[in-house]
Amino acid sequence: MTRETGPALSVTDLETAFATDRGSAHAVRGISFSVQPGETLGLVGESGSGKSVTALSILRLLPPNGRIVGGAIAIAGLDLLSLSQKAMRRIRGQRIGMVFQDSMTSLNPVLTVGRQITEALEAHRRMTHGDARRRAAELLEEVGVPEPARRLSQYPHQLSGGLRQRVAVAVALAPGPEVLLADEPTTALDVTIQAQLLELLKREQESREMAVVLITHDLGVVAGMADRVAVMYAGRIVEHAATRRLFTVPRHPYTLGLLDAVPRLDGPLRQRLAAIPGAPPPISEVPSGCPFHPRCPFAFERCEADEPELKETAERHAAACWAEVREPV
Amino acid sequence: MKVKSLSAVPPAPLASLDAVSVEFRVSARDWRGGGARLRALDAVTFDIHNGETLALVGESGSGKTTAGRTLIRLYRPQSGRVIFDGRDVTSAAGADLRRHRRRIQMVFQDPYASLNPRMKVEDIVAEPLRSYGVGTRRERRERVHELLDLVGLPADAAGRFPHAFSGGQRQRIGVARALALGPDLLIADEPVSALDVSIQAQIVNLLKDLQDRLGLTLLFIAHDLAVVRNIAHRVAVMYLGQIVELAARDALFEQPLHPYTQSLLSAVPIPNPDLERTRERVVLAGEVPSPISPPNGCRFHTRCPFAMADCRAVEPQLRPQPDGRLVACHLVNPLANEQNGGGPR
């Protein structure tokens, strides 16, 4: 998985803040990660964890009240934060592809499917219109859209949710990006369609050697797709490890709690699910110290006062926790 | 078609749909008063017994929500009967219908959209009481406090507005409102699918506790099979307006018989990397066909990995199996046997 060439995407100490009525609120509070070509990083978290804001920060597509206030983002060594808006527009799409949860809003409703793909090809690949149209049909075929020639002249609303999401993948892949950001790409889909789309993403990633950041709340999806997982809580990465390690020897109480809370199809049935008490904090009300301490069964005094740093506890396994967590209780 | 209950000496069910079909007009009336129709439920039959949780599962367009809404008679079926507590309420109207609805209450999916942001929590929870003219103002207020306590909310929640609460707490408010009239049946339509994982477990546990304490009967409508496994006693799997398999929980999850149930279960991602990457999958081809013109024969045959000639031609009937479950599939109930044995409906 790892290669000499260095990461396709690297994020270092990223901080993103939003201006609100009650002052500035940090949605992302100093996170770092990198993704190698051909590798999938799963970014897992609940609402308000900062996972989507991270994606929007990488794309520099934050809403007007949001701002990157610290850190660095680079694509294959190229610093994105120093680029002009115009230069950034070329990077988006061409070098970073994106797939969002809701393809009804990410696709343009008044352009045909064909136009949206050829636009990406003509803008980023400088193809002639005829070549772009042929290539668009090939791409639709590749992402499993039946009758691609006919679909080219259809509009997004004429397609089912599953097909629309395949088209969104085709649009993202058209310019041949090195990095794909997929933010809850299957959350709006039925489970049998989700299985199809995940298979498609995996296949495309392997054949294209793309670096993929898969943002999801679904631990099952991550288990099947990611090489490494970063768990986010209240704007921080609280645990980061290879997927298998994270699921077999989780170190952070939040990760433990999540794995315990999720209802499962495998394993014995319990009378009660192990819920985590309370709720994830809104970004304007992040607790002092370790942001998870009010919900943590292992919290002690220090957790209320000092925020723990993400520290390596084993080889390539890091957690941000003061307690020596061994076993779930 | 009358379906036998799963237990040997069946007590009268609390609620039943008996061969219920519900259609919606989906295009403008043409000059003959016709137009395209969508059959959202096609001869659906199930019983809900006192104190149990029956889950309806299926993907979008399967009819699970329509089934729930027909039970509470938001829809009036084109054919079949809706029975509640021994009474036929299929065409109940006026005061009769109001009496019926009082005994069934609903919890909705979106705890943000289902609470009026301009109403205080106590008014939200008291609204069903007010609507049915139950108690004095003061009695209603007391009842609200009781209910808030029952669902695990602090007493001071009463005077606040919904925006002050997280998604999980809002869903508790929705549950408190649904319990206000002391219903016999609670219909929960995707009650946890809009919630964070760590909160889902809280609401699932709450519903289970309430069932134990109040003897509630629950119709749990959901697409998430892992959640269903953790709450249901029996499960009905729906596809394109029909029930394809109805079984006790363990039977269904340990040994699904209908190919659609099998593929649904195998499509659910499991949070265990070793298992998730090695298990055998039945990945279905294609998508759910349009319910306006469903396939002939078995409605699932266009996506079924095991489809045979019979499946394209003959619609399979829901038949009881040795373990008491019901399955509608020609593989499970070969047509040859059916022509001698089981009678047509």
Model pLDDT for residues A98-121, shown as the tens digit of each residue: 999 887 778 999 999 999 999 888
Q: With the CA atoms of B129, B132, B135 and B136 taken in that order, what torsion angle do they form, in degrees rounded to the nearest 10? A: 90
Most B CBs within 10 Å: which of A190, A222, A225, A276, as the mutation test of the B interface? A190
In this prediction, residue B130 carries a pLDDT of 96
State the average pLDDT over residues B234-255: 97
How many C-beta neighbours within 10 Å does residue B305 have?
11
Of A217, A244, A263, the CB nearest to B226: A263
CA distance B292 to chain A (A): 14
In this prediction, residue A4 carries a pLDDT of 53
* A48 touches A26 (CB < 8 A): no
3-state secondary structure of A33: strand
DSSP one-letter string for A273-296: --PPSS-PPPGGGPPSSSTTGGG-
Residue type, B151: V
Q: Is the dihedral of CA A127, A133, A139, A142 positive or negative?
A: negative
In this prediction, residue A323 carries a pLDDT of 85
Per-domain residue ranges for chain B? 15-103+183-340
Partner A contacted by B59 (CB < 8 A): yes
* B179 touches B147 (CB < 8 A): yes
CA distance B20 to chain A (A): 25
In the sheet with A317-319, reading across from the earlier edge strand, the strands are A96-99, A179-183, A211-216, A40-44, A228-233, A236-242, A317-319, A311-314
If pLDDT is split at 50, 70 and 90, which confidence band does A218 have?
Answer: very high
The residue of chain A nearest to residue B168, with distances taken between CA atoms, is: A279
Most B CBs within 10 Å: which of A265, A270, A276, as the mutation test of the B interface? A265
Partner B contacted by A218 (CB < 8 A): yes
Q: Is the dihedral of CA B193, B194, B199, B203 positive or negative?
A: negative
- Which residues of chain B lie closer than 8 angstroms to A184, CB-CB? none
Residue numbers of B between 72 and 131 with CB closer than 8 Å to A? none
- Which residues of chain B lie closer than 8 angstroms to A220, CB-CB? 268-271, 276
The residue of chain B nearest to residue A247, with distances taken between CA atoms, is: B272
Model pLDDT for residues B148-178, shown as the tens digit of each residue: 999 999 999 999 999 999 999 999 999 999 9
B196/A46 Cβ within 8 A: yes
In this prediction, residue A329 carries a pLDDT of 40
How many C-beta neighbours within 10 Å does residue A246 have?
28
Length of chain A: 329
In the predicted model, is pLDDT for residue B336 greater than 90? no
In this prediction, residue B339 carries a pLDDT of 54
Helices (H) and strands (E) in chain B, counts: 12, 12
In the predicted model, is pLDDT for residue B341 greater than 60? no
State the average pLDDT over residues A22-31: 94
The residue of chain A nearest to residue B203, with distances taken between CA atoms, is: A275
CA distance B58 to chain A (A): 9
- Which residues of chain B lie closer than 8 angstroms to A160, CB-CB? 287
- Relative orientation angle of helices B121-131 and B167-179, to the nearest 10 degrees: 20
The residue of chain A nearest to residue B276, with distances taken between CA atoms, is: A224
CA B315 to chain centre: 23
Most A CBs within 10 Å: which of B60, B153, B166, B197, as the mutation test of the A interface? B197
3-state secondary structure of B319: strand
Of A160, A162, A265, the CB nearest to B229: A265
Q: Best-predicted range by mean pLDDT among A141-155, A301-315, B41-55?
A: B41-55
In this prediction, residue B317 carries a pLDDT of 95
The residue of chain A nearest to residue B224, with distances taken between CA atoms, is: A191
Percent of chain B with pLDDT over 90: 81
Who has greater pLDDT, B79 or B293? B79
In this prediction, residue A161 carries a pLDDT of 87
Q: Which of A66, A57, A74 is nearest to A12 (CA)?
A: A74
In the predicted model, is pLDDT for residue B259 greater than 70? yes
Q: Which of B150, B222, B143 is nearest to B189 (CA)?
A: B222
B271/A222 Cβ within 8 A: yes
Model pLDDT for residues B201-239, shown as the tens digit of each residue: 999 999 999 999 999 999 999 999 999 999 999 999 999
In the predicted model, is pLDDT for residue B6 greater than 60? no
In the predicted model, is pLDDT for residue B340 greater than 70? no
Q: Which of A45, A70, A49, A34 is nearest to A235 (CA)?
A: A49
Who has greater pLDDT, B25 or B300? B300
If pLDDT is split at 50, 70 and 90, which confidence band does A269 have?
Answer: confident
CA distance B335 to chain A (A): 28
State the average pLDDT over residues A144-162: 91
In this prediction, residue A326 carries a pLDDT of 47
CA distance A85 to chain B (A): 35
Cα–Cα distance measured from residue B274 to residue A198, given in angstroms and rounded to the nearest whole number: 17
A176-198 in b/e form (b: 16+ CB < 10 A) is ebbbbbbbbbbebbbbbbbbbbb
Partner B contacted by A191 (CB < 8 A): yes
If pLDDT is split at 50, 70 and 90, which confidence band does B1 have?
Answer: very low
Helices (H) and strands (E) in chain A, counts: 12, 12
A190/B59 Cβ within 8 A: yes
| Pairing assessment for the beta strands A9-20 and A23-35 based on DSSP bridges | antiparallel
Structure token pair of residue A151 = 């679909």
Residue numbers of B between 226 and 285 with CB closer than 8 Å to A? 226-227, 229-230, 253, 263-277, 281, 283-284
CA distance B48 to chain A (A): 22
If pLDDT is split at 50, 70 and 90, which confidence band does A324 have?
Answer: low
Q: How far from A262 is each of A246, A266, A284, A289, B172, CA to CA, in Å?
A: 15, 11, 27, 26, 19
Report chain A's C-alpha Rg in angstroms. Answer: 21
State the average pLDDT over residues A155-161: 91
In this prediction, residue A327 carries a pLDDT of 45
In this prediction, residue B344 carries a pLDDT of 38
Partner B contacted by A192 (CB < 8 A): yes
In this prediction, residue A315 carries a pLDDT of 81
In this prediction, residue A209 carries a pLDDT of 94
The DSSP call for residue B60 is T
Residue numbers of B between 3 and 32 with CB closer than 8 Å to A? none
Mean pLDDT of chain B: 91
Model pLDDT for residues A32-81, shown as the tens digit of each residue: 999 999 999 999 999 889 999 999 999 999 999 999 999 999 999 999 99
Who has greater pLDDT, A269 or A302? A302
Residue numbers of A between 292 and 311 with CB closer than 8 Å to B? 295
In CATH, the architecture of B15-103+183-340 is 3-Layer(aba) Sandwich (3.40)
